[in-house]
Amino acid sequence: MTIPFELPAEDRASSPYTGYTRAHWEAVADGLLTAAWRWSTPGCALLDLPGRPSRSGVRSDGLEGYARTFLAAAFRVAGAGGDDPHGFLDRYARGLAAGTRTPGRDDTESWPLILDHDVQGQPMVESASVALGLRLTAPWLWKNLDAGVQDRAEEWLRGALRHVPAPNNWYLFPYTVAGFLESVGRGDAETAAARRRALELMEGWYRGDGWYADGDGRAFDHYNGWALHLYPVLDAHLSGDDTALAARYGDRLRAHLDGYALMFGADGAPLHYGRSLAYRFAASAAVGLGALTGYTPLTPGASRRLVSGSLRHFLERGALTGDGLLSLGWHGPHEATLQPYSGPASPYWASKAFVSLLAPAGHPLWTTTEEPAPVERTDRVLALPAPGLLVQATRADGIVRLHNHGSDHVRPHEGESAAEDDPHYGRQAYSTRTGPTAPGNVADNHLSVEVNGRRSVRRRIHPLGAGHGDGWGWAASWHRPVFAGGPPMVPGLRVESVTVAHGPYELRVHRVVGAPTGTRVTHTGWATGPEEALVSALHGLHGWDPGAETVRAPQGTAYTPWAEMPRLSGEAGGTTLHVCLAALTAAPGTGPLAGAVTEVVADDAGVEVAWADGGARTRISFDPVRVTQQPDRT
């Protein structure tokens, strides 16, 4: 795809993998900002980008355009020591004055008020970007504002401190507003309380392995990097805080990156998993932040490989419209990727990736030669027990797969309902080369129980453990199948699932417990398009009818406009065990699944398989779930 603005020449000497340098990052920021500012109001307070409005309405969307692009401009200018060759800060200063003059009025420039999240919440999200932008550019923007404009801006921002956030990462928005106000000498008991409350909640949400839940439930996704780690660690960095608090959150970021760095494919793509995926290369924000602050296990060369690879991935695959705007989608526009809160300016949370520009030109992030990404070094399987995730990366094709046995988007107070099936959490596997199928299509990577003609979905996920050894790993969970068009559950019905990653193969084992007589089960593999150079395979080993059929997903995925996938079918009733092998590969010469396993011994209590490549034997048992792998002793 043609990038609709000019970039510097590639530098393959210092950046042998991506060709991108710091100058490329500045040029991309400038190009994105120039394109977005064509849609500003006369007073510069709102950027009314074209496209479908969000559920918050066009005025909130216009504020979103201002705030999220301001974040990119702030990283760009602050990282250059105040150099602002395009005069962006003057525009944001004028917009701040106009937007805060009469907040809440229905006119051309006025910003909406910040209210509770369930009343008029979106402006609270944007207040954090405004506050962070003002903090980053304070020597050049804030300090040159009239006192009256400063007072009006403070009063508008304090709406974030006085209203109720959504019960998740939103509490970091008033935290960020408070941090800015304190940094310019406007702190008080109200700002201190907002910061204290956010940090209290963070302690309850931290689950280990560098992972936070996004609220009181079990949502583990990209919000870890671009929100839950970004705001507190960047706040400590900007304040020069080297106390135990900074070390606590910095050490958690380092632990997060130890696993998260493996979640980028060799083509630069992050995992297509979780919500708000239209933010795209914001997925690299935690990597850049780690390099900036030193809280990272990665070398500077590996960090630049990841951040620049992710940026280039999207720029070259249609993320930009012909006039240089970020579209609503993944590569290009893609409706099924979006949420109701997504508006035309929502993708500009991608601006968070430009935190890397806070590292000056002489920083090792930019001066060290690029090094391979983790997926390019070796095959690896990594279990993350705290979030219940299993990461499987193969060097030959550069694909990373995520097996989900612990993350859902069901809040503790919510009941389970099939009407709320969420493809971005409910699937059992995700990757850097495939996306989930759209609602209304056959679900990919899914075990479905069919009772009285109704197919089940997977909503609340209960982790049962995870672990890894040399070249292999496992994760397990159980869920209660729920059904569309009928009662939310069949009493006593549950599905216990185990995934074992072994080289490029996935051993998928499901024990269905309490199924009524006459129940059918189906299991699907990876959804791929006919034009993609990918192989998706599924082979039944036990508990399935012979052979796999191919089923279609006419609405495709974020990667292909039309997709198909393999599907197995079988009978269940009482307690039954269902075992299969799955694979997603782009590597040439990968053998058929039928030959990957030489022996299968299964009963209702578990299964043991012998692998053809070296003769290792994997044993999976239930009551309780236990997974072991040993060399073949025969």
CB-based contact 169:121 (threshold 8 Å) = no
- Residues 6 or more apart from 188 whose CB is under 8 A from it? none
DSSP class of residue 227 equals I
Residues 327 and 197 grouped into a single domain: yes
Residue 15 inside a domain? The answer is no
Residues 271 and 154 grouped into a single domain: yes
206 token code pair:
């931290």
| The pLDDT value given to residue 489 | 75
CB-based contact 228:206 (threshold 8 Å) = no
* pLDDT of 488 strictly over 70: no
Give the Cα separation of 578 and 582 in Å (integer): 13
| The pLDDT value given to residue 428 | 98
CB-based contact 124:163 (threshold 8 Å) = yes
| The pLDDT value given to residue 132 | 98
Residues 384 and 525 grouped into a single domain: yes
Residue 13 inside a domain? The answer is no
- Neighbour tally for 333: CB within 10 Å: 17
* Portion of the chain with pLDDT greater than 70, in percent: 98
Residues 242 and 387 grouped into a single domain: no
| The pLDDT value given to residue 231 | 98
| The pLDDT value given to residue 244 | 81
pLDDT in tens, 40-72: 999 999 999 999 999 999 999 999 999 999 999
Domain boundary among 350, 376, 402: 376
* pLDDT of 634 strictly over 60: no
565 token code pair:
């996938």
Residues 241 and 336 grouped into a single domain: yes
Residue 45 inside a domain? The answer is yes
Residues 210 and 349 grouped into a single domain: yes
| Among 399, 372, 432, residue whose Cα is nearest residue 18 | 372
Binned at pLDDT 50, 70 and 90, residue 603 comes out as confident
589 token code pair:
């010469």
* pLDDT of 2 strictly over 80: yes
Binned at pLDDT 50, 70 and 90, residue 464 comes out as very high
| The pLDDT value given to residue 605 | 86
374 token code pair:
């983790």
Residues 326 and 390 grouped into a single domain: no
CA angle 372-312-565, nearest 5°?
85
What is the average pLDDT across 382-404?
A: 98
pLDDT in tens, 512-545: 999 999 999 999 999 999 989 999 999 999 999 9
Domain boundary among 376, 399, 426: 376
DSSP class of residue 226 equals I
3-state SS assignment for residue 131: helix
280 token code pair:
């795209």
Residue 337 inside a domain? The answer is yes
pLDDT in tens, 549-588: 999 999 999 999 999 999 999 999 999 999 999 999 997 6
Residue 459 inside a domain? The answer is yes
Secondary element (H or E) of residue 150: helix 147-157
| The pLDDT value given to residue 243 | 86
CB-based contact 133:71 (threshold 8 Å) = yes
One-letter amino acid at 342 equals S
Give the Cα separation of 29 and 20 in Å (integer): 13
| The pLDDT value given to residue 633 | 56
Domain boundary among 376, 401, 434: 376
Residues 326 and 439 grouped into a single domain: no
* pLDDT of 242 strictly over 80: no
Query: What mean pLDDT is reported for the chain?
Result: 95
Residues 360 and 456 grouped into a single domain: no
CB-based contact 348:330 (threshold 8 Å) = no
Binned at pLDDT 50, 70 and 90, residue 415 comes out as confident
Residues 147 and 232 grouped into a single domain: yes
Q: Which domain holds residue 511?
A: 378-630
Q: How many domains does the chain have?
A: 2
Residues 544 and 624 grouped into a single domain: yes
Give the Cα separation of 223 and 587 in Å (integer): 31
Which domain CATH number covers 139? 1.50.10.10
| The pLDDT value given to residue 486 | 63
